[in-house]
Amino acid sequence: MDHTPAAGTSVRRKEDARLLTGRGRFVSDLALPRMRHVAFVRSPVAHGRITGIDTAEALEVEGVSAVFTGEHPAIGPVALRAQSALPGYVETDQPPLARGKVRFAGEAVAAVVADDRYLAEDGAEAVVVDYEPLTPTVCAWAEPTDPVHDPVHEQAPDNLLLSRTFRAGDVDAALAGAHVVVDRELTTNRHGGNPIECRAGVARYEAADRKLTFLSGTQVPWIVRTQLAELLDLPEGNIRVIAPDVGGGFGVKAVLYPEDVALCLMAMAMPGTALKWVEDRVEHLLAATHARDHRYVLRAGFAADGELLAVQADVWCNAGAYSVYPWTAGIEPLMAGGLLTGPYKLADYRCTVRGVATNTSPSGPYRGVARPSTVFAMEALMDSGARALAMDPIALRRRNLILPADIPYRMPSRLVDDSGAYEACLDQAIATFDLERWRAEQTRRRVEGGRPLGIGVGLYNELTGLGRAASAGPRMAFRTGHDACTVRINPDGAVTVFSGVTSQGQGLETTMAQVVADALGVAYEAVEVRIGDTDQSLWGFGAFSSRQAVIGGGAAHLAGEHVRGKALALAAALREAPVEDLDLRGGQVYMAGQEKPIISLAEVAKVAYLQSDRLPEGFEPGLEGTKFYDPIRGAFAAGAQIAALEFDPATGEIGILDWVCVEDAGRIVHPVIVDGQIAGSIAQGIGGAMYEHLVYDDAGNLATGTLLDYLMPTAGEIPELRIGHVSTPAANPTGVRGVGEGGTLAPNAVVAGALADALGVEIDDLPVTPARVWELMHP
Amino acid sequence: MKITLTVNGERHRLDVEPRRTLADALREDLGLTGTHLGCEHGVCGACTVVVDGEPVRACLMFAVQADDAAVATVEGLAGGADGDGTLHPLQEAFSRCHGLQCGACTPGMLMTAAHLLDTEPDPDRATIRAEMSGNICRCTGYTGIVDAVADAAARRARGLRARETS
Ligand code: FES
Ligand code: FES
């Protein structure tokens, strides 16, 4: 039997059989014996001192067994603290349940444990909390003339948790020498990940052996375990974190939340009782992390031929009420400053970014982290530059792209770009889109009448698979460059993989199985993959920064190769054949020049585990191996999106007529999964550009607290997407580039750019809604 | 309150509080956790089940309202005529066309699509998009879902034609 590689083909996903038949294993579905349910009491005020909490009545409610507050001895001494060695970063505490004061509407103040969720909610309603209001801060860029009355954290009297200036070259001189200088002031709209399964956790503590099991829909089980060990004062090995099937993550679940810590602390206070908390959507909108609430004040200088000479930027990111663990309030501002210049060459750059605390839900990682905003900002500068120079906007972009000849290119923020495929993506996107045809249609409509049509374009780089030299996160206490993978051949010759990756829908069981099958030389069907359990796999940092295909995949490949070497060595010794002449394909060992296999992997495994009498000299029993992989740097993934949109003057309605995306995802392991990642992320990007907006009033109340006000796009709003690839293999074991986030990066720029192009205006604020379009068309 | 409901052909007697939703009765009391909850306020469609032939949002219906009703959930989709576990053509198509990623929206999508194909044998893509627009998917960008429903519909139409001509 010959071996067909699994990678590069769209094999049937390992996950599908259970997910399609309603047999998924989600935390929300778990039922353990004598399990009790938790409901949180959440603050109705944005900022206020807690003057009293009365739990007496709640404890009388039928079925309620306990009520915890921030002052409870089990909770009181503990606080999350996101750390960073960044100079000037102000460290602040986040209590599991509010202590002393509340800092945003929705913050958990107390928790009620009861026999079922209905009774827990009855109990929560009976908890009486008194607040003495403090002045809330909602906007992160209030005028400096407004003094901060009541800072969110006393450690940061001006509410500034972090600020940093990125500098390269001499911006003032470059601007002075520029042929044209353009200015833009932009804001982007707060929105969030909103996976269909909200957050969920089940915690159970066994006092006799001090063991805690925490089942959680987390994207980062090992990070969670490490931090829980510290907070709960338990040996790390006594904590088992399991992320089973998880119903979407998108970054929102890459945070260790106060509710998670509270749940574990309560479980420890109630040993032997499993406690379950399943967040509802209203809680999710209120208290899971938000993102993208930014302001950009920009100035750029261009030479007469269109060369981008200088960018000066001031950026404010609304960090919300807490610096999220582990990413800190720096997650968005530092990404904004580091990646603002995107795929464009630039020498002279100055960018000051700030993370500002406000009385709103904390900001955290959301697919694309800051770059949907920065790509919008950068493309707005390009469009303004083109207008000022009377140049074609696409020609101006081309003039400045990082090209293959420039690679490796050191960006002004000192990140090293290894891609250079931007122009290839752009060319293919333009050809697929048929730009000339759409330009002709645009002109036709201008002459003959019809809905105004605009063309928007967004070029971007996705920084993926970050190794230790460019590790994700702002100088945190750990470096996220590596993952581990164990490949085990079982006594029957089948393969079990224990991978450190986690999956929230990305199909990582499938991808890891493909990689291992090929590296080892067995059929895809012979490989089973275990993920998301800290007691099963050795190590993985988890799902963020589009890292797992690169890093987890790299580890899987190396481990597969390593075990292949072991199996072949044993086969060679058993058959007295030279190992260099042997090959493992489809689970059979072949000798060069012979058609029939000389031994099967199953036979080799049987000897390794069960027949030590047959084990040759120098071989230990067992057949498995573990490898770590760290790409040291990272792999940039290039992308280009271009779309045609029309705008209805009567209603402001926005119609997407065509949308093309071309990405360089490197070598592709599973084509359909890769396209699914791209399509899904474009849809989320379109949601953020046109529909999704978390709005606070001046008092800090969330005005968009249900899915009736917070609009996520459906099949009716998302257009047919045309996705293409240029595939330049990256320098890592599998040649892949990350693909999880890129799609989200362009839609802001594309939608705003198309509207600007259609109406000849500048779009400074997002989202682009029909109401906004209507206003612009009826000035 | 005591109620009787038939779920995927099996009769169950339950004693439920009047405020208990059908979704919670299915998930918690009957252990049928295939029906998912994404919002609990009637918008996302994850909880869609078919009650007496009509798709309903199980988060908006009280269990007592389903007294004496026949409920179809995702757990009953597969199984073929003789209960051998064969996947429903829609389940096959969702897998083939990558109509699911995390699987959280999938049960609701499948039940909505099953009802669509029962009532509209040959829908075009625009119809599929319109009919499926009461269900939110946060992962797929809908391409794979529309592909899957269109594929299942086309295969069924082909099968029907083949049967007619034979
Ligand atoms: S859970 Fe029922 S519609 Fe969302
Ligand atoms: S597959 Fe995840 S929400 Fe649809």
Q: What is the pLDDT of residues B42-74, one digit of tens each?
A: 999 999 999 999 999 999 999 999 999 999 999
Residues A272 and A294 in one domain: no
The answer to whether residues A611 and A676 belong to one domain is no
Fold annotation for B2-76: Ubiquitin-like (UB roll) (3.10.20)
Cα(A196) to centroid(ligand 2), Å: 7
Q: What's the CA-to-centroid distance between B10 and ligand 1, angstroms? A: 24
Amino acid letter, residue B137? C
B58 close to B72: Cβ distance less than 8 angstroms = no
Closest C-alpha to A5, from A745, A685, A726, A668: A668
pLDDT at res. A144 = 59
pLDDT at A1: 43
Q: Which of A58, A77, A75 is nearest to A67 (CA)?
A: A58
Instruction: Identify whether residues A304 and A371 lie together within a single domain.
Output: yes
Determine the structural domain holding residue A607 and report its residue range. Answer: 16-22+482-629
Ligand 2 center–CA A676 separation, angstroms: 11
> Which chain A residues are within 8 Å of B72, Cβ to Cβ?
none
For residue A163, tell me if it sits in a domain.
Answer: no
Confirm whether A719 is domain-assigned.
yes
Distances from the Cα of A113 to the Cα of A100, A395, A465, A599, angstroms: 22, 62, 41, 59
Residues A393/A457, Cβ–Cβ less than 8 Å: yes
Q: How far, CA to CA in Å, does A204 sit from each of A72, A270, A428, A444, B85?
A: 19, 9, 53, 67, 35
Tokens 């290119």: give the residue: A409
Do A499 and A573 fall within a single domain?
yes
Contact present, A210 and A227 (Cβ < 8 Å): no
Residue A256 to chain B, least CA–CA distance (Å): 21
The amino acid that residue A332 corresponds to is: E
Q: Which residues of A touch B74 (CB under 8 A)?
A: 20-22
3-state secondary structure of A459: strand
Distance CA A225, CA A326 (A): 12
> How many domains does chain A contain in total?
3
> A287, A303, A338: which is the final residue of a domain?
A287
CB contact under 8 A, A22 and B32: yes
Out of B40, B44, B95, the one facing A13 most closely (by C-beta) is B95
**A501 and A413, same structural domain?**
no
Cα–Cα nearest to A528, from A494, A484, A560: A494
| Separation between Cα atoms, residue B50 and residue B57, nearest integer Å | 9
Judge if A637 and A773 occupy the same domain.
yes
For residues A363 and A263, state if they share a domain.
no
* pLDDT at residue B165, as a whole number: 73
Q: Do B100 and A683 touch (CB under 8 A)?
A: no
Cβ within 8 Å of residue A362, ≥6 positions away: A94, A104, A289, A290, A319, A320, A321, A322, A323, A324
Query: Using a 6 Å CB cutoff, which residues line ligand 1?
Result: B 37-40, 42-47, 57, 59
CATH of the domain at A738: 3.30.365.10
pLDDT beneath 70, residues of chain A? 1-3, 143-146, 471-473
Of A591, A612, A629, the position where a domain reaches its end is A629
Name the DSSP class of A20. Answer: H
Phi, psi of A176 (to 5 degrees): -65, -30
Q: State the Cα–Cα distance between residues A206 and A240, nearest whole angstrom.
A: 12
> What is the CA A517 to chain-centroid distance, rounded?
27
Query: Which of B22, B27, B36, B43 maximizes ligand 1 atoms within 8 Å of its Cβ, making it the mutation to test the pocket?
Result: B43
* Burial class (CB within 10 angstroms; exposed 0-12, middle 13-18, buried 19+) of B137: buried
Give Cβ neighbours of residue A87 (< 8 Å, ≥ 6 apart): none
pLDDT of residue A4: 75
- Per 3-state DSSP, what percentage of chain A is helix, strand, and coil (rounded to 5)? 30, 25, 45
Q: What is the tens place of the pLDDT at every residue in B101-111?
A: 999 999 999 99
Q: Whose CA is nearest to atom 2 of ligand 2?
A: B102
CB contact under 8 A, A28 and B141: no
CA distance A629 to A608: 26
A564, A680: one domain? no
A383 with A523, same domain? no
Looking at the domain assignment, is residue A544 inside a domain?
yes
Quote the DSSP letter at residue A414: S
Residue A127 lies in a domain: yes
Q: Is the pLDDT of residue B166 over 80?
A: no
Task: Identify the CA nearest to A116 among candidates B127, B86, B29, B58.
Answer: B29
Flag if B39 and A672 touch (Cβ within 8 Å): no
Residue B160 sits at the chain A interface (C-beta within 8 Å): no
Q: For residue A121, what are its two tokens?
A: 């909610």
* Pairs of CB atoms within 8 A across A/B: 181
pTM greater than the 0.90 cutoff: yes
For A666, the token pair is 């490197």
Instruction: State the SS3 of A210-243.
Output: CEEEEEECCCCHHHHHHHHHHHHCCCHHHEEEEC
The one-letter amino acid at A175? L
- CATH superfamily of the B89-161 domain: [2Fe-2S]-binding domain (1.10.150.120)
Residue ranges in chain B assigned as alpha helix (H): 22-24, 89-96, 106-119, 125-131, 143-165
Judge whether A63 lies within some domain.
Answer: yes
Please state, in angstroms and rounded to a whole number, the distance separating the CA atoms of residues A5 and A519: 9
Quick check: B39 pLDDT over 80?
yes
Decide: A193 and A288 in contact? Cβ < 8 Å. yes
8 A C-beta contact, residue A538 and residue A559: no
**Pair (A460, A548) in one structural domain:** no
The kind and range of the H/E element at A775 are helix A770-777
Ligand 2 atom with the shortest distance to the CA of A505: 2
Task: Give the start-to-end residue ranges of the domains of chain B.
Answer: 2-76, 89-161
Choose one of A605, A629, A653: the last residue of a domain. Answer: A629
Q: Which of A196, A246, A707 for mutating ligand 2's site (highest number of atoms within 8 Å of CB)?
A: A196
Does residue A733 lie in a domain region?
yes
Report phi then psi at A110, rounded to 5.
Answer: -150, 165
Q: Answer yes or no: do A623 and A636 share one domain.
A: no
A608 and A672: one domain? no
